[in-house]
């Protein structure tokens, strides 16, 4: 096991990693920008290094600064958290070249899954069900139009390097194809420097269901069921739950085994998430995320496992501490993302926290780096906390969420908490009968003050 690891992140996820390390007897090094000198992750770690000015590109994303922080402190491994350098294959290569260990997948797996065409091709060959569409990239408008006729409209054109909804265009009819094809290519080029696109059948009202997988890098892999993350706004998740309210135990076992076997086959190491669209009882692979995700705590709650501890174990060459047979689901968990944002437009709202009180009690977990008097800097993501509740069943989890939201105090800035109070009044949320479009349609339907 490592003696000391460096956490290349900030906020609640940095605390999450420091906590796992401490329970394992592993010392932790925090890194921070000059804007984060007073941040909780700096206080909670065993030691800290300032890696640059406020701008992420010059601090949390600076590969030389992060490597230097390891060399100065003698940290042997780096946990990247999510975002920042977590899915940067070049970074992983540099880490290895400095005889350090990246706590995460190999550079090669990150590279393959980071390009959506190679990801889909790989998954298809591994027997994972995919959305019907082009075999690889589509180079010309003529090819795109021919494919549109073959697959049948509507179709979606996606940039292979795309993300966050950028470089993604729907063609409802053949007439739409030219515009959609050219726009997707142009967005791919301007946002990611890559104009390669591919085409899929457009699924109109699916759910976003993602399977948590975990591998030991030696050919053993397991799945930890699914999360339903359909409640999103502008490709940002706001409410996530596990198990998925629409997924049967038989469906879970089936898709879970396909995913676990695929990961075993490629000798995947660490935590991963295989994203599907789910419509009319069928799963369609869309993307894989080669990192620990924001919403991992709902999976931890229902399976009773510590995913970060497992990441650190396998990175150190140890086995996973469980097998597939050990993994059984207990109850239901929900996470809501609390952002420092002003409704109704979700405008970022940094500033000083005058009072903070975290909810507690049975089945309540608050992952947050807030404290009384903390000033949220304006330079980073607006996520300031994740409230995770766990109950024996979905109704109990919903009641607990309502109760815990009532206990939470975050004064001094606007937050998305009122959104969750309102969502808990909605029948679709209470029954779990929603899809990827439900949240935006509901927000659009709300009366506006004007
Ligand atoms: C799709 C789709 C419908 N059909 N692909 C959105 C971002 C990227 N991760 C994939 N996305 C979608 N791909 C096909 N073939 C609809 C979406 C989509 C979506 C997916 C998951 C969660 C929220 C979404 C919101 C709008 C569109």
pLDDT of residue 450: 52
Copy the structure tokens of residue 39: 């941040």
How far is ligand 1, taken at its centre, from the CA of residue 234, in Å?
A: 11
Copy the structure tokens of residue 142: 């003529």
232 ligand 1 Cβ < 6 A: yes
Give the span between the Cα atoms of 309 and 23, in whole angstroms: 9
158 ligand 1 Cβ < 6 A: no
Q: Is the peptide bond before 83 cis (omega within 30 degrees of 0)?
A: no
Give the span between the Cα atoms of 70 and 76, in whole angstroms: 7
Q: Nearest Cα to 336, choosing from 295, 305, 369?
A: 295
Closest residue to atom 7 of ligand 1, CA basis: 165
CB 210 within 8 A of CB 274: yes
287 ligand 1 Cβ < 6 A: yes
CB proximity list for 255: less than 8 A, separation 6 or greater: 211, 226, 276, 283
Residue from 156, 187, 279 whose mutation best tests the ligand 1 pocket (most atoms within 8 A of CB): 156
How far is ligand 1, taken at its centre, from the CA of residue 279, in Å?
A: 12
390 ligand 1 Cβ < 6 A: no
How far is ligand 1, taken at its centre, from the CA of residue 14, in Å?
A: 29
CB 109 within 8 A of CB 290: yes
Question: What pTM was computed for the model?
Answer: 0.97
Residue from 153, 160, 168, 444 whose mutation best tests the ligand 1 pocket (most atoms within 8 A of CB): 168
Give the span between the Cα atoms of 333 and 396, in whole angstroms: 9
CB proximity list for 432: less than 8 A, separation 6 or greater: 228, 241, 245, 246, 394
How far is ligand 1, taken at its centre, from the CA of residue 419, in Å?
A: 23
User: Which atom from ligand 1 is nearest to the alpha carbon of 437?
Assistant: 25
Residue 7: beta bridge partners?
30, 79
pLDDT of residue 210: 98
Give the span between the Cα atoms of 425 and 408, in whole angstroms: 18
- Digit-by-digit pLDDT tens for the chain (450 residues) are 999 999 999 999 999 999 999 999 999 999 999 999 999 999 999 999 999 999 999 999 999 999 999 999 999 999 999 999 999 999 999 999 999 999 999 999 999 999 999 999 999 999 999 999 999 999 999 999 999 999 999 999 999 988 888 899 999 999 999 999 999 999 999 999 999 999 999 999 999 999 999 999 999 999 999 999 999 999 999 999 999 999 999 999 999 999 999 999 999 999 999 999 999 999 999 999 999 999 999 999 999 999 999 999 999 999 999 999 999 999 999 999 999 999 999 999 999 999 999 999 999 999 999 999 999 999 999 999 999 999 999 999 999 999 999 999 999 999 999 999 999 999 999 999 999 999 999 999 998 765
Read off the pLDDT of residues 41-53 as tens digits, 9 standing for 90 and up: 999 999 999 999 9
pLDDT of residue 410: 98
Active site residues: 291
Read off the pLDDT of residues 284-306 as tens digits, 9 standing for 90 and up: 999 999 999 999 999 999 999 99
Instruction: Supply the angle between the helices 307-315 and 296-303 in degrees, to the nearest 10.
Output: 100
Sign of CA dihedral 130, 132, 133, 136: positive
How far is ligand 1, taken at its centre, from the CA of residue 213, in Å?
A: 21
């Amino acid at each position: 096991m490592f003696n000391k690891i460096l956490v290349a992140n900030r906020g609640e996820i940095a605390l999450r990693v420091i906590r796992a390390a401490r329970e394992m007897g592993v010392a932790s090094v925090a890194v921070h920008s000059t804007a984060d000198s007073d941040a909780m992750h700096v206080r909670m770690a065993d030691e800290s290094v300032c890696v640059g000015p406020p701008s992420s590109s010059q601090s949390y994303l600076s590969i030389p600064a992060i490597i230097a922080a390891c060399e100065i402190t003698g940290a042997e491994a780096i946990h990247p958290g999510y975002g920042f350098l977590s899915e940067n294959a070049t970074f992983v290569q540099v880490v290895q070249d400095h005889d350090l260990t990246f706590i995460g997948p190999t550079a090669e797996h990150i590279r393959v899954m980071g390009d959506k065409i190679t990801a889909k091709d790989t998954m298809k060959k591994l027997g994972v069900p995919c959305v019907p569409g082009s075999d690889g990239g589509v180079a010309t408008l003529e090819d795109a139009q021919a494919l549109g006729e073959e697959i049948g409209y509507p179709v979606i054109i996606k940039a292979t390097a795309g993300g966050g909804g950028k470089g993604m265009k729907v063609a409802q009819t053949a007439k739409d194809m030219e515009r959609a094809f050219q726009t997707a290519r142009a967005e791919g080029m301007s946002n990611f420097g890559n104009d390669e696109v591919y085409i899929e059948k457009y699924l109109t009202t699916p759910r976003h269901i993602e399977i948590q997988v975990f591998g030991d890098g030696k050919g053993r892999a397991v799945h930890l069921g699914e999360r339903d993350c359909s409640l999103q706004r502008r490709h940002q998740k706001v409410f996530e739950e596990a198990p998925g309210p629409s997924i049967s135990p038989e469906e879970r076992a089936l898709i879970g085994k396909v995913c676990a076997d695929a990961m075993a086959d490629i000798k995947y190491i660490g935590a991963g998430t295989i994203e599907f669209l789910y419509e009319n009882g069928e799963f369609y692979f869309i993307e894989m995320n080669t990192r620990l995700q924001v919403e991992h705590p709902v999976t931890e709650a229902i399976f009773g496992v510590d995913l970060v501890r497992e990441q650190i174990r396998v990175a150190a060459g140890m086995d996973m501490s469980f097998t597939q047979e050990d993994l059984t689901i207990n109850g239901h968990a929900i996470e809501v993302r609390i952002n420092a944002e002003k409704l109704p437009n979700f405008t970022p709202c940094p500033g000083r926290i005058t009072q903070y009180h975290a909810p507690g009690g049975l089945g309540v977990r608050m992952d947050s780096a807030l404290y009384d008097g903390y000033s949220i800097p304006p330079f980073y993501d607006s996520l300031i906390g994740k409230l995770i509740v766990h109950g024996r069943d979905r109704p109990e989890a919903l009641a607990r969420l309502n109760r815990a939201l009532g206990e939470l105090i975050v004064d001094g800035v606007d937050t998305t908490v009122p959104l969750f109070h309102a969502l808990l009044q909605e029948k679709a949320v209470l029954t779990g009968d929603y899809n990827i479009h439900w949240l935006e349609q509901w927000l659009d339907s709300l009366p506006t003050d004007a």
